[in-house]
Structure 1
Amino acid sequence: MDAALIAVVGTLLGVVATHWFQGRAAERTAALARTEQLRQERITTYSTFAGAVVDYRQSQNDRWFKAHREPGSEEAEQSRYASYRQRTAARQALFRVQLICEDPATRRRAEAAFEATHCMHEATDDTDRVRRSDEAKEALALFIEAAAPGVR
């Protein structure tokens, strides 16, 4: 009888221990899956934002050139509207960065990249446009540098 009781208790302890270890393993697996999903979402969000800012910077340069070559022309107006569409896309991408990014410094870098690009069309001459374009490019590079460790 004692041997049977010991066997039952041993079996119950084995079941409880197995259940506990399996539960912990499942929790670890779920946590790893969540972490990887968040990493993938960040990669997508950050690269989409960077692409949108590059497109916005290009449209701002195009807008500036057309506005200074042929002020008030249909081509200049179309370029202006195209820059508005690119601004909207970049701002939407910025909102996604703000939602998914936990690091305040990285969010500020994203905002700075957007803002530097946003002000490019206000350049007074070509030298000022080049300076502003370079600043926007540098601001985006700083964002990418800040964001990269969070997705590695």
Structure 2
Amino acid sequence: MDAALIAVAGTLLGVVFTHWFQGRATERTAALARSEQLRQERIATYSAFAGAVVDYRHSQNDRWFRAVEEPGSEEAEESRYASYRQRTAARQALFRVQLVCDDPETRRLAEKAFEETHCMHEAVGTADRARRSEQAKEALARFVAAAAPGVR
């Protein structure tokens, strides 16, 4: 009888420990899956933001050149409206970055990259436009450098 009780107790103890270890393994697997999904989301979001800012910077340069070459022309106006559309796309991408990024410094750098690009059309003269364009490019590079470790 004692041997039977010991066998039943051992079996029950084994079941309890197995259940506990499997529960922990399941929790670790779920946490890893959530972490990987967030990493993939960040890669997609940060890449989309960088692409939108590059497109916005390009449209801001085009807007500036067309406004200088032929102020008030149809091409200058179309370029201005195109830059508005690119600004909207870049701002939407910025909002997505703000939603998935948990690092305040990376969010600040994303906002700075957007703002530097936004101010490009206010340039006075070719040298100022080139300087502002370079500042926007550098601000985006700083964002990418700060975001990269978060997606590795």
Q: Shorter-normalised TM-score: what interval?
A: over 0.9
| 2:43 corresponds to 1:43 | yes
| 2:91 corresponds to 1:87 | no
Residue matched to 2:118: 118
Pairwise CA distance, 1:52: 0.2
Pairwise CA distance, 1:29: 0.2
Structure 1 unaligned residues grouped into runs of 5+: none
Residue matched to 1:97: 97
Pairwise CA distance, 1:135: 0.1
Pairwise CA distance, 1:3: 0.8
TM-score, scaled to structure 1? 0.99
| 2:16 corresponds to 1:22 | no
Structure 2 unaligned residues grouped into runs of 5+: none
The CA distance in 2 between the partners of 1:91 and 1:126, in whole Å, is 26
Alignment size in residue pairs = 152
Residue matched to 2:135: 135
Residue matched to 1:55: 55
Pairwise CA distance, 1:48: 0.4
Pairwise CA distance, 1:56: 0.1
Pairwise CA distance, 1:26: 0.2
The CA distance in 1 between the partners of 2:148 and 2:37, in whole Å, is 16
- Paired amino acid for 2:11: T
Structure 1 runs of 4+ with >2 Å offset: none
Q: Which digits, 9 at most, give the CA deviation of each residue in 1:45-97, with x for residues without a partner?
A: 00000000000000000000001101101111100000000000000000011
Pairwise CA distance, 1:16: 0.4
The CA distance in 1 between the partners of 2:125 and 2:99, in whole Å, is 37
Residue matched to 2:73: 73
The CA distance in 1 between the partners of 2:123 and 2:22, in whole Å, is 63
What percentage of aligned pairs have identical amino acids? Answer: 82
- Paired amino acid for 2:64: W
TM-score, scaled to structure 2? 0.99
Pairwise CA distance, 1:44: 0.4
The CA distance in 2 between the partners of 1:17 and 1:45, in whole Å, is 42
The CA distance in 1 between the partners of 2:20 and 2:70, in whole Å, is 74
RMSD: 0.4
